[in-house]
């Protein structure tokens, strides 16, 4: 028996991420820094990463990341995708 699972992935443009916030604070800058680092290491722009992997690599709180991403979706710097694995 196979189960369909959906992995939540994100396409992120780190160079546009901070533009989503009128006055970016520490959380925004911390996440932006991690997005840039991972993007450079992988040589990916836009960066494609799962939420689980981002939480693991960045050591940031998933709830905070989701909250910031929900704001960043509005300016197009972050897009949510999902892929089915079975």
Whole-model pTM: value is 0.84
The answer to whether residue 21 sits within a structural domain is yes
Q: What is the pLDDT of residues 5-44, one digit of tens each?
A: 678 899 999 999 999 999 999 999 999 999 999 999 999 9
The answer to whether residue 65 sits within a structural domain is yes
Terminal Cα distance for the chain, rounded = 10
* Strand residues in 1-86 grouped as ranges (E): 5-12, 47-50, 78-85
The answer to whether residue 47 sits within a structural domain is yes
The answer to whether residue 23 sits within a structural domain is yes
Domain of residue 27, residue span: 9-85
The answer to whether residue 4 sits within a structural domain is no
| pLDDT given for residue 82 in this prediction | 78
**Domains in the chain: how many in total?**
1
Cα 21 versus chain centre, distance: 15
| pLDDT given for residue 39 in this prediction | 96
The answer to whether residue 3 sits within a structural domain is no
| pLDDT given for residue 59 in this prediction | 86
Contact 20, 84 (CB under 8 A): no
Contact 23, 59 (CB under 8 A): no
pLDDT > 90: percent of the chain: 80
Say how far apart CA 34 and CA 60 lie, in whole Å.
9
Report how many helices (DSSP H) and strands (DSSP E) the chain contains, helices first: 4, 3
């Amino acid at each position: 028996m196979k189960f369909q699972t959906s992995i939540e992935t994100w396409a992120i443009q780190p160079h546009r991420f901070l533009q989503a916030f009128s006055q970016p604070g520490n959380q925004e800058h911390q996440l932006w820094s991690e997005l840039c680092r991972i993007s450079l290491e992988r040589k990916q722009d836009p960066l494609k990463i799962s939420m689980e992997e981002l939480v693991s690599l960045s050591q940031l709180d998933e709830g905070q990341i989701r909250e910031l991403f929900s704001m960043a979706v509005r300016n197009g710097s972050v897009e949510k995708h999902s892929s089915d694995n079975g």
